[in-house]
Structure 1
Amino acid sequence: MTKIHPTAIIDAKAELDDAVEIGAYSIIGPNVKIGARTKVGPHVVIDGHTTIGADNQFFQFSSIGAPPQDKKYAGEPTRLEIGDRNTIREFCTFNLGTAQDEGLTSLGNDNLMLAYVHLAHDCRVGNNTVFSNNASLAGHVHVGDWVIMSGFAAVHQFCKIGEHAFVGMNTSLTQDVPPYVLLSGNPAQPHGINIEGLKRRGFTREQIGDLRNAYKLIYKSGLTLEEAKAALAAAEAESTASVDQLRLMREFLDGSTRGIVR
């Protein structure tokens, strides 16, 4: 049975699964859908065209599904979608998308979002990420699976961060981060492959070695970016253990529009 605190305000049009819990003084808007076993703590506001999956937990004082912080927004029915098994800690702010993009801000599954995390309009965050306190994404930022964003890291609009990347504390990002790369600083500087993270996720010694060699091609060889991409393609063709990983890195470089941190 749905557990709703008597002080919570739930719009009659909101769609809540029978196993949802809503805490004291929380407010749920008319276009909100919340899946099974999701727990919304006290003093949380969820509004807009927001869809939330199962087994999520929202801690107090978060603002979810508010209009984007964009002067061009004119009240269009844009969306926010949140998947399953996410933990959203105190004071997080996740905004709706805008009509100038695809009208969608999204957060995948199994993410840990610590206090004061900001996801601006049209951001796309994958699965199994960790955002530490005060990590912030400007509009239209895309973040791949298994990325770790350290405290107070900030990302400029339209940047992309590839899978398994690690962004250090207080890092200021204005360009794209290739998959598997560890970086930090203001401005951001690359510092090798995220070796410890890859070990924890079951990457083999050979795969990690191949990715370290790929990093050297991009950052240490003196090659131009186009030459490095050609060298990556050759390494991919010769690889037996790391074809998928090298392809992911090469395709990320091909798709980068802001240029990579280098």
Structure 2
Amino acid sequence: MNIHPTAIIEDGAQVHETASVGPYSIIEAGAVIGEGCRIESSVRIFAPTRMGAFNRVCHGATLGSDAQDLTFDPARASPLTIGDHNHFKEGVNISCGTKSAEGTRIGSHNYWMAYSHAGHDCVVGDHNIFANTATLAGHVEVDHHCFLSGQVAIHQFCRIGAYAMVAGVTGVPQDVPPFALADGHRARIVGINVVGLRRGGFTQAQRSRIKGVYRLVFRSGLRLGEALVKAETDYPGPETDEIIQFIQTSRRGIISIA
């Protein structure tokens, strides 16, 4: 185990023998650090954090800190659970949970750029990118392969669908459906995330199907229920099913189209 002499590892913290901890970092009692993790300088990992394997945590990051909620009671804190192969850059802050027993959950292979933040009880999937100062309020859900640009702010309880991209300096007050490209002072759909879909291996036929569904749902003039039924008939496929299921289960409503 490679522990810098200035690091503080409290009794009761579990740090895997292959992990490293840099200068002036603090790992509280109750925290769990998995195989091959690299904790760099001046990092603080709070007690309810459980971290998987091969994560990198850069200078000044804080993981599992108290929820930024005026009603927060430390006695009711629930864990921050982190998967494998995540990269947390400088100053990243992720809160523990407080409203749910499962707490805040971060998947695997996510890249968090400097000063990005996830609030309490967020649920984040895999292979997402959060650019500098991207911010998730409490209870936000981010699926997989999403890209949130710099200074994006997601309202609490919103959902971001798979392969969605949100442009920089955008406020998101409602759900962003899968595969969409959102932009604006208040987010609106301005297209589909063509670059992300190409990088994700989506074929031209799949991308055309997604475009067809969004044209039908948002521009046909049909009522939403009618449009969803027609989309299922006219553009059958897993991408269509994913879009329909996302819209039908939305609690905050879907952002509008530009």
Say yes or no: TM over 0.5.
yes
Query: Over aligned residues, Cα RMSD in angstroms?
Result: 1.0
Give the AA of the match of 1:202. G
Is the 1:65–1:94 contact (alpha carbons within 8 Å) kept by the matching residues of 2? yes
- Superposed, 1:113-124 pairs within 5 Å as 113-124=112-123
- TM-score normalised to the size of structure 2? 0.96
The alignment status of 1:261 with 2:218, answered yes or no, reads no
CA distance in 1, matches of 2:230, 2:242: 14
Q: Cα 1:226–1:102, aligned 2, differ >3 Å: closer, same or farther?
A: farther
The alignment status of 1:161 with 2:156, answered yes or no, reads no
CA distance in 1, matches of 2:173, 2:146: 17
Deviations along 1:60-114, whole A, 9 cap, x unmatched? 001111110112221214110111001100001100111x334410111101100
Give the AA of the match of 1:95. S
Greater mean deviation of Cα atoms: 87-96 or 76-85? 76-85
- Superposed, 1:207-222 pairs within 5 Å as 207-222=206-221
Give the AA of the match of 2:225. E
Number of aligned residue pairs: 255
Indicate the SS of the match to 2:53. coil
CA distance in 2, matches of 1:48, 1:155: 26
Give the AA of the match of 1:94. I
The alignment status of 1:251 with 2:245, answered yes or no, reads yes
Indicate the SS of the match to 1:30. coil
Deviations along 1:15-67, whole A, 9 cap, x unmatched? 11110000000000011001111000000000031100111100000111111
Indicate the SS of the match to 2:120. coil
> Post-superposition shift, 1:128?
0.3
Residue equivalent to 1:127: 126
- Superposed, 1:1-262 pairs within 5 Å as 2-75=1-74, 76-98=76-98, 100-236=99-235, 239=236, 243-262=237-256
Is the 2:163–2:193 contact (alpha carbons within 8 Å) kept by the matching residues of 1? yes
Is the 1:48–1:96 contact (alpha carbons within 8 Å) kept by the matching residues of 2? no
Give the AA of the match of 1:164. Y
CA distance in 1, matches of 2:151, 2:38: 27
Indicate the SS of the match to 2:226. helix
Indicate the SS of the match to 1:65. strand
CA distance in 1, matches of 2:223, 2:84: 42
Deviations along 1:151-176, whole A, 9 cap, x unmatched? 00000000000000000000100000
> Post-superposition shift, 1:147?
0.3
Is the 1:163–1:179 contact (alpha carbons within 8 Å) kept by the matching residues of 2? yes
CA distance in 2, matches of 1:77, 1:23: 27
CA distance in 2, matches of 1:235, 1:20: 53
- TM-score normalised to the size of structure 1? 0.95
Q: Structure 2: any 5+ residue segments left out of the alignment?
A: none
Percent identity of paired positions between Structure 1 and Structure 2: 37
The 4+ residue runs of structure 1 with deviation greater than 4 A are none
Indicate the SS of the match to 1:183. strand
Deviations along 1:159-213, whole A, 9 cap, x unmatched? 0000000000001000000000001111111111111111111111100000010
